[in-house]
Structure 1
Amino acid sequence: MPASLPPVLIVAHGQPSDPAPAAADLSRMAAQVASLLPGQAVAAATLAEPEALGHAIARLGQNGLLFPLFMAGGWFTRTHLPARLTAAGAQGWQVLEPLGCLPTLHDLAVQILAKTRQTHPGPVVLAAHGSFKSSAPSDIAQHLATKISTALGCEVIPAFIDQTPQLADLPALGPDAVCLPYFAASGGHVTTDIPAALGKSGFKGTLLPALGLHREIPAMIAAAIRNPTPVCTQDCRYKRG
């Protein structure tokens, strides 16, 4: 392999309660990305599989690029992943900005909702994970909500699973509302937690597929790898205020 083409490892959180399906989905995603990066080794690992990251590093070698399939920067990208790389004996590896921080992903969200609102012109709910420990996940969700609202001239409500305002506490929004899950994969949060929370709130609108499941994502990741941006080690650039 040419020296100019470093190995790539795509890392996701995975599903701790049932790691295998999420790991298989991520491997399929990595294969799609690899097809767009001829001559470049691309592998996958979830953090839910205790040994997966170390085994992948052992196969790929040194001086690679780690792409986090996460929806926000923060402790995981700035601290946890570098520590895991060190523990795995990785040398010269660079952690890139995660999927959720790519401006192209935010543009895709606007495009999806612009099309959806042709038939569902009500308010938009941006369903995100959130965190009671860090503002980074809500900062980026608020940034995207503002971008969508400005671009489309509609009401956008960020609501969360793991912080307030919670999805279960949404007000009545009517049948023309839509909910876009700001998630990278189809795990338990997307298939179970979000529908359950929306049900508690009395949501009567349309639940869209998670943003990270759209067909444009592999090409977006490949483009980010061709032009790598190191993860921000300071406050997230999407930080409010």
Structure 2
Amino acid sequence: MTETRSALIVSHGQPSEPDPAERDLARFGTSVARALPGWHVGTATLAKPGALDAALAVAGPAPVVYPMFMTEGWFTGENLRNRLGNAPGARVLRPLGVSPDLPGLAADLIDDQIARAGWNPGETRLFLAAHGSGRSPNSARDTRAFAAALARHIALAEISVGFVEEPPYLADAATGIGERSLCLPFFAAAGGHVTDDIPEALDKADFSGLRLAPLGLAPAVPDLVARAIASDR
């Protein structure tokens, strides 16, 4: 009999209102599970009290843990490993945002949006709206690394980056980009930064380009995550 392997997808969630993010992640996990026959795929947000422990109780002592985060840092490192204390055999993969497959996926998404708009990639500017951090350089480092990798996949007029929590701030970075532009939130889910902070900043900047859904919600992301989990040895 083939033993069922376990995977656990973990995200930050929304501390102020944890249940909607928990449900959204569960739906995402269902999509990943469709591409992983023979696997148990659980989900948990760190923001919902007890969610991770409950998911670990089902997943067992040695799940493959996939962090639905866009950058590496304290949450995907020390904090997550400490909270996985009940699963001593857990193997934590690198987070979504640093996946080597993500820039190509994003390039395909952007190219499709540009074609739908009837634009030319070489005349189109991309604005990456990201989280950033006032305490650690990791978030900006990984965001800029993604932007550089993306530029190797698609030749745009410009790729610029702005942050919620550090300079260059969103509104400043988005000002004057022009009409033939796209804003792509470099976020794993549609939390408060995506639904509130980014639109507010774009309005302040008089941004007139296209506003895309966060990258983590791209239709091809569940398959990307499934491949990463399946390739773990």
1:83-232 equivalences in 2 (<5 Å): 83-86=82-85, 89-118=86-115, 119-120=118-119, 121-150=123-152, 151-170=154-173, 171-228=175-232
Q: TM-score, normalised by structure 1?
A: 0.89
2 CA distance for matches of 1:116 and 1:39?
Answer: 35
**In the TM superposition, what is the alpha-carbon distance from 1:73 to its structure 2 partner?**
1.0
- Cα pair 2:164 2:197 within 8 Å, conserved: yes
Could you list the per-position Cα deviations for residues 138-168 of structure 1 after superposition, in whole angstroms to 9, with x for gaps in the alignment? 1121112223334314211011111110111
Could you list the per-position Cα deviations for residues 36-79 of structure 1 after superposition, in whole angstroms to 9, with x for gaps in the alignment? 11111111100110110011111221111111000011111121
Could you list the per-position Cα deviations for residues 146-199 of structure 1 after superposition, in whole angstroms to 9, with x for gaps in the alignment? 233343142110111111101111331221111111111111111111000111
Identity of aligned residues (%): 42
The residue type paired with residue 182 of structure 1 is: F
SS at match of 1:124: strand
- RMSD (Å) for aligned C-alpha atoms: 1.6
Kindly tell me the number of residue pairs found equivalent between the two proteins.
226
SS at match of 2:77: helix
2 CA distance for matches of 1:198 and 1:44?
Answer: 32
SS at match of 1:9: strand
Q: Does 1:44 align with 2:43?
A: yes
**In the TM superposition, what is the alpha-carbon distance from 1:117 to its structure 2 partner?**
3.0
**In the TM superposition, what is the alpha-carbon distance from 1:218 to its structure 2 partner?**
0.8
1 CA distance for matches of 2:151 and 2:96?
Answer: 21
Counterpart in 2 of 1:15? 14
2 CA distance for matches of 1:65 and 1:128?
Answer: 27
Counterpart in 2 of 1:6? 5
**In the TM superposition, what is the alpha-carbon distance from 1:116 to its structure 2 partner?**
2.6
Q: Which runs of 5+ in 2 are unaligned?
A: none
